[in-house]
A and B are shown apart, each in its own frame.
Chain A
Amino acid sequence: MMNYLDFEKPLAEIEGKAEELRALARRNEEMDVEAEAAALDQKAAEMLRELYRNLTPWRKCQVARHPDRPHCRDYIEALFTEYTPLAGDRNFADDHAVMGGLARFHDQPVMVIGHEKGHDTKTRIERNFGMARPEGYRKAVRLMEIADRFGLPVITLVDTPGAYPGKGAEERGQSEAIARSTEKCLQIGVPLISVIIGEGGSGGAVAFATADRLAMLEHSIYSVISPEGCASILWKDAEKMREAAEALRLTAQDLMKLGVCDLVVAEPLGGAQRDREAAIHDVGKAIASMLAPLKEASRADLIAARRRKYLDLGSKGLAA
């Protein structure tokens, strides 16, 4: 059963009708509905193209949060071999909102780290909806240190609504943990590639996405605050999230213009959730293409160039 977003409702109707027709035909062999069903399919395909041709920023937020999108776990399973999860921050706990470990990417050993949101109620709760606690960031710091010492490139997959706003998380130093993770990203002398595969929510995302090269999926977002949060503060009305999403310029396309994002990875028509395999495959290609030119760079050059990139960021605004 597919999950449809609110703006996909008309599409859901047509696709549902085609599905119904075919189900009818399966039960009743004399019936020939293929022509009719095919016409509906075509209509649906056209509508899909139309809907996704010019997604508004708010609709992009909805697609970025789509429950059927491939998540970190799916990418790791499909793109990496010998994935060996490493757990724990050695201080307090293992945060299941952050997964990571050793793996091979095209046979090359790497360290892969990412936020995992979970795919059903049970795993979503276990993963805390991809909202990391300090332990998660401290685990990431530990993994990045290992990568740095043994010369392994780091690949991060970002998909989080934000860092977890909870009592325990605050008591254990949520802000310090995020700050240290961002700092570690800027310190390691190995290539650091990041891909925003869904939501890049504020500081919780920065802690992983401060990279040599940052790619974003076509319908992913990266923002200082959620559109709902921004709307409730600046418009004093959380329902103004459409306006806020527009104003914040949080789409991959706008971030490309601002120089924050280096590469936009096209998604299959109708979003990554409609053809997960193709989306995952394309992300793999993007990682390989971003990693290749960095392989020869020296430690010092990598660190210096990464710092320069961030120091120069934003100097040109939308004209970048």
Chain B
Amino acid sequence: MNWITNYVRPRINSIFSRREMPENLWSKCDSCGTMLFHRELSDALNVCTNCGHHMGISPRDRFTALFDNGVFTEVPVPKPIEDPLKFRDQKRYPDRLRAAQKQAAEDEAMLVAEGEIGRTPIVAAAQDFGFMGGSMGMYVGNAIIAGCERAVATKRPFILFSAAGGARMQEGILSLMQMPRTTVAVQMLREANLPYIVVLTHPTTGGVTASYAMLGDVQIAEPNALICFAGPRVIEQTIRETLPEGFQRAEYLLDHGMLDRVTPRGQLRDELISITRMLMGLAPPVAGDLPKPAPPAVEAPTPETETPKAPSET
């Protein structure tokens, strides 16, 4: 018996305890429930490898995957005054903000960056649904304005990834005023004849959809993304009838003429490169990865409109 209790049992126990993986290495697909290994999941840009369900992705991860070699420079965003209304519900607004900053490890709900995709210089902005529901407050407004101004100054296309529950209630009317403010920013791009491409991701609703997210020259959505003005629950409460299957999802909007395309996340980068290059009148993109030290022969035929990299101060 001693041999069993002293040797075999600890061995067996150790095998089982070793199998207990740290939880954060695995995540469960929101849709099909498949357990996905973290590395596999991040390689697939948070798209379930089993069912193709698109889960949320942070702006930083998205940009790392989007920009050539994951290199991008953040475009500085002017900080608005904090808590303009001295808003307080069950918690103080600054406390909610602080908690969100800690959890997301970002300052606010939007990240703006410049860099190259497929050697095409662009400015991009991505909204962070993980940060207070991606809600549009003064900071998000400032970010979009800063991004558009940067795009105009450097003559680059502007690509925006939207994800938001709507306007940030805690900033009251000033959040609502981001609708006209961001619209002004989009007009700056239009007047400078620069492409404005919107990629609508899950979910994009409310005042965000009713302003900058619906004003793109080209409107692309990720599969199954919820895109609407009034959410399905609000509508069901108002009209008291059940809504059709897939209502307000990307494919439904495509069917109703509200979008140009629905594109899986894995194909977005190539598609964005292709669209921006055509709209900017640039030569076709070079397929595949370029050799690290780029041979001058590839660079030569590209027209001058390709503006030189202008890395800005962060």
Which A residues form the contact surface with B (CB < 8 A)?
163, 165-167, 169-176, 178-180, 182-183, 185-187, 202-203, 206-207, 210, 222-225, 230, 233-235, 243-244, 247-250, 255, 258, 260, 307, 310-311, 313-318
Extra A-B contacts (9), CB below 8 Å, given A179-B213, A314-B84: A163-B229, A170-B235, A176-B214, A183-B186, A187-B187, A203-B206, A210-B180, A234-B89, A315-B81
Cβ of A224 and Cβ of B167 under 8 Å apart?
yes
Cβ of A250 and Cβ of B85 under 8 Å apart?
no
Partner of A202, one of B90, B138, B207, B258: B207
B201 within 8 A of A: no
B239 within 8 A of A: yes
A180 to B180, CA, bound (A): 11
B215 within 8 A of A: yes
Of B5-13, B55-63, B168-176, B291-299, the one with at least 4 CB within 8 A of chain A: B168-176
Partner of A171, one of B167, B175, B212, B256: B256
Note all chain B residues with C-beta closer than 8 A to A233: 169
Note all chain A residues with C-beta closer than 8 A to B180: 182, 185-186, 206, 210, 310
Cβ of A179 and Cβ of B256 under 8 Å apart?
no
B211 within 8 A of A: yes
Note all chain B residues with C-beta closer than 8 A to A223: 172-173, 176
Mind listing 14 A-B residue pairs with CB under 8 Å?
A163-B229, A165-B229, A167-B239, A167-B241, A173-B257, A179-B212, A182-B180, A186-B184, A244-B89, A248-B169, A255-B173, A260-B177, A311-B145, A316-B81
B29 within 8 A of A: no
Q: Mark B199-230, 1 if CB is under 8 A from A, else 0.
A: 00000001101111111000000000000111
B248 within 8 A of A: yes
Partner of A314, one of B88, B174, B258: B174
Cβ of A183 and Cβ of B172 under 8 Å apart?
no
What residue of chain A has the Cβ atom nearest to residue B175's Cβ?
A224
Contact count band on B? 35 or more
Most chain A C-beta atoms within 10 Å of own C-beta, residue among B86, B174, B187: B174
What residue of chain B has the Cβ atom nearest to residue A255's Cβ?
B173
Cβ of A224 and Cβ of B258 under 8 Å apart?
no
Partner of A166, one of B212, B235, B256: B235
With A165-B229, A247-B87 as given contacts, are A234 and B173 in contact (CB-CB < 8 Å)? no
A172 to B257, CA, bound (A): 8
With A224-B167, A234-B169, A247-B89 as given contacts, are A314 and B211 in contact (CB-CB < 8 Å)? no
What residue of chain B has the Cβ atom nearest to residue A184's Cβ?
B183
Cβ of B235 and Cβ of A179 under 8 Å apart?
no
Cβ of B167 and Cβ of A313 under 8 Å apart?
no
Cβ of B214 and Cβ of A179 under 8 Å apart?
yes
Cβ of B234 and Cβ of A165 under 8 Å apart?
yes
Note all chain B residues with C-beta closer than 8 A to A255: 173
What residue of chain B has the Cβ atom nearest to residue A185's Cβ?
B180
Cβ of B184 and Cβ of A165 under 8 Å apart?
no
The A-contacting residues of B in range 96-132, CB under 8 angstroms, are none
Cβ of B214 and Cβ of A313 under 8 Å apart?
no
Q: How far is the CB of B241 from chain A (nearest CB, A)?
A: 8
